[in-house]
Amino acid sequence: MIELIPAIDLIDGKCVRLTKGDYATKKVYNEAPVAVAREFESYGFRRLHVVDLDGARSKHIVNHKVLERMAAAAPKLVIDFGGGIKSADDLRIAFDSGAAMVTVGSVAATHPDLFCEWLRQYGPQRLILGADVKNGLISINGWKEESTQELIPFLSRFMQEGVRHVLCTDISKDGMLQGPATPLYRKIMAEFPECDLIASGGVGSMQDIVDLDKAGIPAVVFGKAIYEGKISLEELAEWAGNKQ
């Protein structure tokens, strides 16, 4: 069964969402992300995806104190944290602040040897490779820059180094609520059947999650669909309970 992972994106310590990664589209949904995390935990979710958008823009971790409070308030949640992880200090601070897993994307694209060093140091169960895609190419630094690296060769290199967890966002789908890039995720799973792939971007209905589940995608991240009332926590919890 597909693993359901709600998301909290942080700017100025508040729960926000962007569209296609554009900071000009910022919409604040809740000024108390700790309470949001606690609510997710109360509905039986086991995972939480947290993105430090200030960190992604600043190129260093920013909202680690909020992470610390969320981890303390919702101890049953396995929190994966990303955004602004550019140095060994950023990575250490994220783990010390309560992240069970950390998502790293830009460093993998720009300093692959450093990412592999972190992978050896922390192990493949604690690091998630972030693969954010636009026009078939990996995007970096808060999606503001495109690299020249194509998705499948990028993934292949790091899968060979021992990566198992991959978070892939199709930026063109992000925040649009018009459905995820299921064909892209099928392609990744066909190439790397051992990959613990987390699909991200575009989920706008319960049917989208059902379709990803039927496609055999291991996990999905979603946020805006909840905050906009397109999917309720009740129906997610009920569906997950019925599937188990």
What is the mean pLDDT of each successive set of 10 residues along the chain, which is 244 residues long?
Answer: 97 95 94 97 97 95 98 98 97 98 95 98 97 91 80 97 97 91 97 97 96 98 96 95 75
Active-site pick, 52, 80, 90, 132:
132
How far, in Å, are 54, 73, 149 from residue 66 at the CA level?
Answer: 12, 11, 33
CA-closest candidate to residue 60, choices 34, 38, 89, 40: 89
Query: Would residue 54 show up in a list of annotated catalytic residues for this protein?
Result: no
The percentage of the chain sitting over the pLDDT mark of 70, rounded to a whole number, equals: 99
Predicted pLDDT at 159: 97
Inter-residue contact 128 to 166 (CB < 8 Å): yes
Pairing of strands 101-104, 127-134: parallel
Query: Would residue 132 show up in a list of annotated catalytic residues for this protein?
Result: yes
**Structural domains in the chain, sorted by start:** 3-243 (3.20.20.70)
Distance, in Å, from the CA atom of 146 to the CA atom of 89, rounded to the nearest integer, reads 25
Predicted pLDDT at 175: 86
* Crossing angle between the packed helical segments 112-122 and 151-160, to the nearest 10 degrees: 40
Q: pTM of the predicted model, to two decimals?
A: 0.95
